[in-house]
Amino acid sequence: MEKETAPPMELEIPGECQYAGGEPAVVRPSQPTPRHTLYLSNLDDQRFLRFSIKYLYVFAAPAAVSADALRAALSRALVDYYPLAGRLRPSDDDEGKLVVDCNAEGALFAEAYLPGLTASEFLRARARPHKSWRKLLYRVEAQSFVAVPPLVVQVTRLGCGGMILCTAINHSICDGIGTAQFLQAWARAARADHHDDDALAPSPFHDRHALRPRCPPRVVFTHPEYCNVSATGNGNDTGLLARLIGQPLVPVSLTFTAAHLLRLKRQCAPSLKCTSFEALAAHVWRAWVRALDPPGALPVKLLFSVNVRRRVKPELPRGYYGNGFVLGCAESTAAQLTSSSPWSARYVVRLVQEAKECVDDDYVRSMVDLLEERRGARPDLAASLVISAWTRLGLEELDFGAGTPAHMGPLTSEIYCVFLPVAGGDPHGVTVLVSVPQAAADRFQHCCLVFLTDTDVDAKLS
């Protein structure tokens, strides 16, 4: 396997965005929309989801469309997805909960120009987000998260004629599947041929009462993702890992092709049928623990989202775009995760599978009830790797009428791990993006790629 001798490029965006008109426009639904208060389920209204999902898309010049066309299409899309044009506020009837005031105040739409950057320059260093990328999304000055509009958009025209589209979508209103559903609806509204797709596209289902808590609540599972890690050994193990994660973080990006994933499944779990996600999640989890090198007795968790739309009874309606997931939780000691035993990889894949398998209707209802009893509860992240899978959402296929993006990914690199689709490349490939302590970055990369021993299957490092 060939390895890069130079570190991956990192792009610091030069200059500042020049905003058309100085302030963003307010885009309201193009037709009258229902005025009411939208109830948010306990899965929506979790404290750890009170942020915006920030997507970044790069379109080369041939695939770019005008800001006017995007703005007009957004206005049409907001007719169906009108809660995104509303505003969050505290509930009048349920202390500590949020609701959406569907008042059609509108989304924010900023139009900018950045002549000192081209799409090709961005694409050469696209894999590792830099803090300067934040200038590509209009910063809303607000006193709190609740005061930020649920949808903020910035379209930045580049010197080459290409464009960068950034969207910030409130996670309390949509999960990943829901954001993808909305973005595809926006893209269809921008395409001249969108009527051909309308019959296949799901209509948004707004109501969230299918996930309301029981009365009285019945918490019948332990829900380890919300349990505090108990330090073992000398009592300082959890603190040690926290200090490691507290070091300066650097983003690491690795792309696994379909051939890599097949090789990984064959080598890591030859006698076990598993999905690419299960094999890759287990592999990245083990590499992360090896790179951090915590005490062997420390319990370490892997948290990842499990779509529950078809796991609850009755199933959630087609088009449900609210938060329809719970966190799957696999747990083991650091020593077991990093064991060199030939059965270790299989063992870890089974942990991931079992964490998925336990999520059924009873588990989801118990989770909803737990959040009813413990308002403000947050997942335990003391010694946990969190994986958010953005693959299989169709985000890399977003087409506003002139072509698909040359790149899609997060605006910033966070402490959790993101599995990304490969835009314009291998349709079955996955890019793994995760920030790790600087001292552990090289070791993490090595641990991720060590299984690629044959020279005919080289790691594609971004």
Residues noted as catalytic = 171, 399
Any residues with CB less than 8 A from the CB of 54 and at least 6 apart, and which? 137, 166, 167, 168, 410, 411, 412
Q: Which helix (H) or strand (E) holds 307?
A: strand 299-307
Residue 211 phi/psi, 5-degree rounding, is -110, 30
- What is the number of alpha carbons within 13 Å of residue 350 lying toward its C-beta? 11
- What is the number of alpha carbons within 13 Å of residue 217 lying toward its C-beta? 18
**DSSP sequence for 392-451:** TS-GGG--SSS---SEEEESS--SSEEEEE-TTS-TT-EEEEEEEEGGGHHHHHHHHHTT
Going by the DSSP 8-state scheme, the letter that residue 131 receives in this structure is G
Going by the DSSP 8-state scheme, the letter that residue 63 receives in this structure is G
Of 384, 326, 321, give the one whose Cα is nearest residue 359.
Answer: 326
Give the pairing of strands 98-102 and 36-39.
antiparallel
Determine the Cα–Cα distance for residues 369 and 372; give it in Å rounded to an integer.
Answer: 5
Phi/psi zone of residue 235: left (φ > 0), alpha (ψ -120 to 50 degrees), beta?
A: left
* Nearest-10 Cα torsion for 60, 51, 316, 81: -60
- Cβ–Cβ < 8 Å for 208, 44: yes
407 bridge partner residues = 58
Give the pairing of strands 52-59 and 18-19.
unpaired
Determine the Cα–Cα distance for residues 345 and 347; give it in Å rounded to an integer.
Answer: 5
